[in-house]
Amino acid sequence: MSAPSPVPTEKGILQFLQICDNLYPADAVEAPVEQQRRWYDALCARFDRPLPPDIIFADGMVQRIPIRRYRPRKIITRTILLYIHGGGFVVGSLESHHAICAEIADFAGAELVSVDYRLAPEYRWPAQTDDGFAVLKHLLAAGNKVVLIGDSAGGNLAAGLALRARDEALSGVVGQVLIYPTLGGDMDAGSYVEMAAAPGLTTADVAYYREILRAPEGNEIAEPLRASSVADLPPAFITVAHFDPLRDDGRHYAARLSAEGIEVWFREEPQMVHAWLRARHMSDGARDGFRAVCEAIGHFAML
């Protein structure tokens, strides 16, 4: 008899999971990609929120890459926030994280740029990191300081961009904020086993996303946990969910950064599941976690 799936007890996050189950099937990865995207868009729309008052946003292009710029009513720093959305490299868009990006920009008092990178399977790795890096280099070339931010797959891309910027001796990246990131951990150990059947994201789902991306195994940009060195990276804030197979990726990366002398803040949300950012207006734990994320971004933006 198999052990029961690990689940949180917080009322708000359980309500969030129920809504997710009704809109995004647990076996969604078995459906055609076009259907996955329709389900994901519907899920994102369900949790959409009005934007903060007076925030301005506009779509544009950097080279061939679509972006969206957010500018809050009060700018207190010239540092640019670069947001890279999650979605397993398969789903997600400028729309999927629209309100999240607007709220972060408003809280930090900073302009935010969101990247609509190319998705798999139409575009395999390294298209995703190359798109993000092109936008990052564009911002740095204009003399901006930049805070890298990403959730889930976007957290992977943000961590990889920090490594790429370091390796090319690009200055100006002042912080990296990684939200329940996937970083290339061992899928036969730790949280990948303990939380294999966690609600919202399973280890089998992670395996599917890795397979569809087709990043080369052991590549340190695709799998930052495999980096030969993390020295000289910008300071980091890493947050993970307890009920998430990706939990130990963030734990281990934070420990690795700290061991090599990088300033790092690590936070584990004890009642949270993967993708808890969407629950920030209905779960106490998600609300607190989102505020911590915003405070970290605001701190880095003032460096």
Supply the residues annotated as catalytic.
152, 244, 274
3-state secondary structure 233-295: CCCEEEEEEEECCCHHHHHHHHHHHHHCCCCEEEEEEEEEECCHHHHCCCCHHHHHHHHHHHH
Helices (H) and strands (E) in the chain, counts: 9, 8
| CB contact at 8 A, 40 and 32 | no
Start-to-end C-alpha separation, the chain:
53
The number of beta carbons lying within 10 Å of the beta carbon of residue 170 is 16
| CB contact at 8 A, 102 and 52 | yes
**Backbone phi and psi for residue 156, each to the nearest 5 degrees, phi listed first:** -60, -50
Distances (CA, A) of 295 to 62, 79, 264: 28, 15, 14
**Nearest 5 degrees, angle CA 111-CA 88-CA 247?**
90
3-state secondary structure 106-139: HHHCCCEEEECCCCCCCCCCCHHHHHHHHHHHHH
Task: Report the C-alpha gap between 44 and 35 in whole angstroms.
Answer: 14
**Backbone phi and psi for residue 67, each to the nearest 5 degrees, phi listed first:** -135, 165
Collapse the DSSP code of 4 into the 3-class scheme (helix H, G, I; strand E, B; otherwise coil) and give the result. Answer: coil
